[in-house]
Structure formats: structure tokens, C-alpha cells
Amino acid sequence: MALTRIQPAAIADVREPNFRNIVINGDMAVSQRATSTASITASGYHTIDRFQTSASSIGTWTQSQDTDVPTGQGFATSLKMDCTTADASPAASDNLIIIQKFEGQNLQYLKKGTASAESLTLSFWVKSNKTGTYIAGLHDRDNSRIISKSYTIDSSDTWEQKEITFAGDTTGAFDNDNAGSLDIQMWLAAGSDFSGGTLATTWQSQTNANRAVGQVNLADSTSNEFFITGVQLEAGSVATDFEVVPYDQNLDRCQRYYQFIASGTSKRWDLVSSARTTSYVDFVYPCTVPMRAQPSLDVVSGTDYYYVYSSNGGYDKFTTPAINSNYVSGTTLVTGYYSGGSYTAGDSLLASTDNASSYIALDAEL
């Protein structure tokens, strides 16, 4: 019997993504911070990795990683926004936006700022009880330029797939660095400062009033909710099938920007470390993947929130870990300060969270 030789290129096509999707975690699978956060009234990263919420005085929200997804599309999770306090009359500067930011060094192949600039096509699945016009936009941070397109949620409480193509921009190249160059912005509500002009359907210098013209107000009722998943942004004018990235690779890509370490009671977050003095302890935390930039510490502080255990059998408590040295070669030196230590310099140590509210992570978000 003749054997059919499978070419290596064919194997690679089957097994490996080619990362045509610029969006990271577009299937909403990774949620390191929390799976649900209530009482949101301000901007920040609340649940789903890489998706930031811009919120300015426009109601109160619960954001969650939800299991409501379009049937038969291969998704297991979605990002849900649930209005818990309404704002039927937004002030001029009010806004609610779901945002993902991208590094300029990952966008050079788009050839922005040249005559060969690539179009970008955005596709996603969306569901809401609030039908009507919504706005999706791109924001070039390096050159202060914008483009926005509208789409319609036609049927209440029904998953719908949307596809939007943005023309290539021949003005203004992206910086080739690890800073934020481009945002994708999914608008949910907009005051007149962002909706009082003419929608910027072609690339133009940033005028806020042209960014979200026609946007419905998702904040006008506590009955309102919004779901989104399968978010893909790719070069070209055709939306391809959602690019599936294995969970481990997806998590690694998210951890470039944020790495959860530990929380709660008796959660060990460090390998063996050492005491510099009786009141000064160094913990070298090996980052899972190299981070985008020197991270800050995302930490919840409180009396006796953290413990230090010693190889000599002693222990001590401290309140606030802190980053105390430069970020070098994928590791971060996290230092715990405490008083009344009973160790000698060189003691081997292990750190632990020790309160239900304790939390520690590394943050290098854009």
C-alpha cells in the first residue's frame, strides 16, 4: 500500500495559529483578575484579560466572564456588561467603552502611513436586549487619528455576528516599540462630547465629537445587558473564521501584560528566598513569561495580609509587598517589609498570602 507523505507545512497549518488575529483573548477565555466584578463606575481592567473598560460617570455595572455564547460556534465564554444603576441622561463627557490596546511593534506589517496601508476587518459576535445602532472604532494613539463605523443589533436577546472593514490609513506610521499604538473601541454609551458631530467613517485627525455619533445608550435601564465574544481584527477586507489559539498560548500572551501570583488564605506565591536583614526580605518571583515592560505591583494591602516562613521554623507577618529593584531577564524582585523579624541574614524563606482579601499580581498593561 502506498503511503501519502504529509508535508511539514501542512502539519504547521493544522497545528499552529498564524496569529492573524491582532486581538488577544478574543474568545474571552482568560480572566486572571476575576470572573465577575460588581459596582463598576470607573475605568480599569476588571475581569477579561486584555479588555479594558472606559467608564466615566455613566451608571453602575457588573462585568463578568459569562457562559452565554452563540450556539455551535466553538466559544465557551463571553464578556458580559450588566447595568445595575441606570443613567438615562448622560452628561456631555460621559462614556462607556470596551477597549483593547496593541503594541506598535506588532503592527508594522499593516504598513500604516504608506500608500500600501492595509485595510483592517473587525468581526465579532454580539448580543443585547438593547437593539439599535452601536459604534466600533479604531484609535491611532501615535498620530491622534480615528475612524469609526456603525453596526446594528437587530434582534433583542439574539446572538448576531457582525463584520466591519476599516480602510487602510496612508497617514501616520505606528511607532515601532512596545507602547500602545492602536486601540479597538467598542462603544456602549456616549455623551455629546463624543456623539455631537459627524461620524468619522474615514480616517481623520481626532475630533472627539465624531467618534460615537448615533450610539445607543446602554445605560438607560437596569434591564440592559450586553455580551460579546469571538472578537477578531485582521489585515484585509475579508473576515475569516475566528482564529483558535490553544488556552496555554492564549494565557502566555495575556501574561505578557498581567501576571496573577496569589490571593486568599495560605496561598504560597514564591519559591525559596532569603533574608537580607531581620526586617528586610527579598523574594525573587520568576515571571511566567517576560513582561511587556517593567511591571508595577497590583496588591491589596492590610494588616497581617502576608506571612513569611523561615527555614529555621520562625514566621512573621507584614502588610505591603513592594517591587524594590529593576526588572531583569524575566524576573521581578518583590520585597516584603515587616517589623519584629526574628531571622538572620541568609535565612531561606517562603512567602504566603494569609487573608481572604489579600491579592498580589504584576501589571504591565498598556
Q: What is the pLDDT of residue 337?
A: 53
List of E strands, the chain: 36-44, 52-66, 78-85, 95-103, 120-128, 132-140, 145-153, 160-166, 180-190, 204-205, 225-235, 258-268, 273-277, 280-286, 296-300, 306-310, 315-318, 321-323, 331-337, 348-363
**pTM (2 d.p.):** 0.92
**Smallest Cα–Cα separation from 105: which of 172, 49, 182, 32?**
182
Q: Helices marked H in the chain — which ranges? A: 8-15, 192-195, 247-255
Supply the pLDDT for residue 30: 98
Residues of the chain with pLDDT under 70: 1-16, 269-274, 278-279, 312, 324-330, 333, 335-343
Cell of 269: 506565591
Which domains are seen in the chain, by residue range?
A: 18-254 (2.60.120.260), 257-363 (no CATH)
pLDDT at 321: 82
pLDDT tens digits along 59-81: 999 999 999 999 999 999 999 99
pLDDT at position 11 is 43
Looking at residue 113, its pLDDT comes to: 98
In order of 27, 44, 196, the CA distances from 366 in angstroms are: 20, 11, 29
Predicted confidence at residue 351, as pLDDT, reads 80
Q: What pLDDT was estimated at residue 12?
A: 43
